[in-house]
């Protein structure tokens, strides 16, 4: 027998330590954050956003040109302003992301990225303002739309200068899809009015309009959350080869809530930059004043609905992708250093040796 420190008379066989159970859910959500995931498809997203902005500018000009009087033109301009501003905000963010993403693809240069993104948003704003001034009638209303649209594009470019390009891309793509859905939903408004009991009384019309608005906001939030989750999933798969790149649950939360935040930000820009146009339209008649107030309240409610429903949808979708801990991991011994109990064969062998 060989003496060993600690009074042990028999050598203990070397055993590899048992690994602790691996919590796959914690690995997926709590991995150390490294470099932000790159945003895929930025050029296509920018082109789609520019096309959407061009469509909004064209439809607004057609609506104003079809007006038979100056009073009607002012009212139509006020009604069309939110669509132009939201489109300019999303386009500034998309183009700013497409311009700023290559800057930090190889090296983390946040200051340069922010400057490039803001510059791209400025170019979009100048192009939109120039288009409005050249194609619309030259008056105070036109200058208000042009200036507010330019400001919205610059703010969108500044938002694109954020460090995590994948989250910005998810917000921009989801917001663009939400805006397109709202326009497409107009086809279903009349059937829904009938479905929700719109009749000849004022009370039934108000009740039906409320339910139609809530249905639109709920569906828009589902679209926003689904698109944000899909974009981040795409970005995560594209960056799977880079172990230092991680997209944790806060990214999905921000991306899902982002379209609603952009809608609320657009409303702030409208009420600040387009205040003169809104007040001018509200001063036309008592009915116009009520309409402008009601539309403003409806846009705020819609933004809040899209914010919360989009965030909840993205988080639920992300949670369903998490892999629970394996059953065999739970069966691993908690104390990896404890000796294993001897089997029947080992006990009989030891007795015979003694």
* Domain-embedded: residue 25: no
Q: What's the rounded Cα separation, in Å, for the pair 192 and 198?
A: 9
More confident residue, 314 or 11: 314
* Domain-embedded: residue 348: no
* Domain-embedded: residue 45: yes
Q: Judge contact between 269 and 89, C-beta under 8 A.
A: yes
The answer to whether residue 73 scores a pLDDT higher than 90 is no
Q: Which residue has the tokens 């402008």?
A: 292
Tokens found for residue 56 = 């909004």
- Cross-strand bridge partners of residue 4: 8
The answer to whether residue 2 scores a pLDDT higher than 50 is no
* Domain-embedded: residue 319: yes
* Domain-embedded: residue 332: no
Which pLDDT band, with edges at 50, 70 and 90, does 80 fall under?
confident
- Cross-strand bridge partners of residue 8: 4
Q: Within 13 Å, how many C-alpha atoms sit on residue 86's CB side?
A: 25
Q: What's the rounded Cα separation, in Å, for the pair 212 and 188?
A: 9
Q: Judge contact between 103 and 112, C-beta under 8 A.
A: yes
pLDDT tens, residue by residue, 105-117: 655 577 888 899 9
pLDDT tens, residue by residue, 245-290: 456 788 899 999 999 999 999 999 999 988 888 888 888 888 888 8
Q: What percentage of residues in the chain have a pLDDT greater than 90?
A: 40
Which pLDDT band, with edges at 50, 70 and 90, does 101 fall under?
confident
* Domain-embedded: residue 246: yes
Tokens found for residue 255 = 């991306």
If you write DSSP's letter for every residue of 238-304 in order, what string do you get? HTTT-TT----HHHHHHHHHHHHHHHHHHHHHHHHHTHHHHHHHHTS-HHHHHHHHHHHHHHHHHHH
**Average pLDDT for 167-187:** 93
Tokens found for residue 144 = 């208000």
The answer to whether residue 15 scores a pLDDT higher than 50 is no
- Cross-strand bridge partners of residue 81: none
Q: Judge contact between 95 and 87, C-beta under 8 A.
A: no
pTM: 0.78
* Domain-embedded: residue 350: no
The confidence score (pLDDT) of residue 119 equals: 94
Structural domain span for residue 273: 36-324
* Domain-embedded: residue 279: yes
The answer to whether residue 8 scores a pLDDT higher than 50 is no
More confident residue, 241 or 52: 52
b/e burial code for range 75-107 (CB count within 10 A of at least 16 → b) = bbbbbbbbbbbbbbbbbbbbbbbbbbbebbeee
Total domains in the fold of the chain: 1
Cα 177 to Cα 15, 54, 110, 218, 246: the distances in Å are 58, 16, 28, 14, 25
């Amino acid at each position: 027998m060989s003496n060993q420190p600690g009074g042990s008379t028999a050598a203990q066989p070397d055993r590899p330590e048992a690994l602790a159970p691996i919590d796959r859910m914690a690995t997926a959500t709590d991995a150390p954050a490294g470099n932000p995931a790159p945003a895929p498809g930025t050029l296509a997203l920018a082109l789609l956003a520019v096309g959407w902005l061009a469509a909004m500018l064209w439809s607004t000009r057609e609506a104003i040109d079809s007006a038979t009087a100056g009073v009607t033109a002012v009212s139509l301009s006020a009604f069309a302003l939110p669509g132009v501003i939201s489109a300019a905000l999303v386009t500034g963010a998309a183009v700013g992301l497409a311009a700023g993403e290559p800057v930090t693809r190889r090296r983390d240069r946040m200051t340069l990225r922010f400057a490039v993104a803001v510059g791209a948003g400025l170019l979009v704003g100048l192009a939109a303002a120039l288009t409005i001034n050249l194609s619309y009638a030259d008056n105070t209303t036109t200058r208000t739309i042009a200036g507010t649209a330019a400001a919205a594009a610059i703010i969108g470019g500044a938002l694109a200068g954020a460090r995590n390009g994948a989250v910005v891309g998810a917000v921009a793509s989801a917001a663009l899809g939400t805006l397109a859905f709202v326009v497409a939903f107009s086809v279903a408004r009349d059937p829904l009015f009938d479905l929700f009991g719109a009749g000849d009384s004022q009370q039934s019309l108000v009740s039906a309009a409320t339910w139609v608005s809530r249905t639109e906001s709920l569906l828009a939030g589902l679209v926003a959350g689904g698109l944000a989750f899909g974009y981040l999933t795409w970005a995560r798969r594209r960056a799977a080869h880079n172990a230092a790149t991680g997209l944790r649950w806060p990214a999905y939360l921000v991306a899902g809530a982002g379209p609603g935040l952009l809608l609320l930000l657009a409303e702030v820009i409208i009420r600040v930059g387009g205040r003169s146009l809104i007040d001018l339209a509200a001063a036309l008649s008592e009915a116009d004043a009520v309409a402008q107030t009601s539309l403003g309240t409806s846009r705020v409610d819609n933004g809040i609905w899209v914010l919360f429903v989009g965030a909840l949808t993205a988080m639920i979708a992300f949670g369903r992708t998490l892999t629970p801990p394996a059953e065999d991991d739970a069966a691993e011994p908690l104390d990896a250093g404890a000796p294993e109990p001897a089997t029947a064969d080992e006990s009989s062998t030891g007795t015979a040796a003694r």
